[in-house]
Structures are given as C-alpha cells and as structure tokens.
Amino acid sequence: MKTDLILQGAARSVLLAAAVLLSACAAPTPSSRVAAAPQLYAPLPEGQKKAVMEGRVEEGMSPDAVYLACGQPDRVVRGSENGKPYELWRYTQLIPVYHAGVSMGFGIGRPYGFGRRHGFYDPAWIGYDAGPDYVPVTAVVVRFSRNRVTGWERLR
C-alpha cells in the first residue's frame, strides 16, 4: 500500500516536472509577453493594445509596444539618413523548403587492415531525403525614428 502511494507521488512529480519543462519550451506569444511585463502594456493607447494582442505592428508604436507584439528582434541595425538617426529591428522566420531525392554513389574506398593492404571496403551508398530543410528568412522589419515606428514590412 505504501509502495503504491510512493509510486503515485513519484508519477505526479514526474508529470509536474514534464509540464514545467514543456511550458518553458512553448513559443512566447503577445499575451505571454504582456503577462510578463504588464507595466509596458498598461500605458499604451487602446488601438495599440489591440494591435499588440494580435501581434501586429503599426506606425507610431513605441519600441516597447513592438516588443510586446513581436518579441525580441533577431537583429538590430542602427544608421543615419539625411542626418537623422534610425533603428531597424529585423525578425527572422524559418521557412520549410520541401524536396525529395534519391542519391547513389559507388567507388573504391581506402585500404583497411594493418601493415600491407588487406583489401578495400566499398563505400557504395544509397540515400533518400524527403524531409524539409528550414531556411531562415527575414519575416518582419520595423523602422524606428525618435523611438516611434515610422515604417514596417512583413513577409506574407
């Protein structure tokens, strides 16, 4: 009886640990970022709050609002145009590239054995690859000037 209770407790502990680990691996969303930083969300105008929760970027948004909507950028670029400083936030996304292929190869391999050559192994092979490769592409670019969004681009 005690053994059953111990096993049930251990099973609960394992399930709880698995749930915590899986939730830590979950992709962050606008709502999870807002929950983690409500002080950034509270002062936003109502229109921007709606855009943030939908994961959209609009002109006039602050960097905090863009962070809540899209998360941490993958790259930040600073520059100047006509004497005015600007900042670009770039977000990347992995796009699957699907392909299928069969490849074959034959040849003479290197010698094996000790001392004199005892023979050659044949490196003949046949391979099949049907899975996608994931290629990083720029998905969103947000342009800031004076801490406000002045333009943005989004990949469809």
Average pLDDT in the 102-113 region? 60
Kindly list the domain boundaries of the chain, sorted by start residue: 73-156
Q: Which has the closest alpha carbon to 89: 142, 153, 42, 139?
A: 142
pLDDT confidence bin for 155, thresholds 50/70/90: confident
**Listed range (25-39, 43-57, 62-76) with the worst mean pLDDT:** 25-39
**Listed range (21-25, 61-65, 83-87) with the worst mean pLDDT:** 21-25
pLDDT recorded at residue 112: 55
* pLDDT over 70 (residue 19): no
pLDDT recorded at residue 81: 93
pLDDT recorded at residue 5: 45
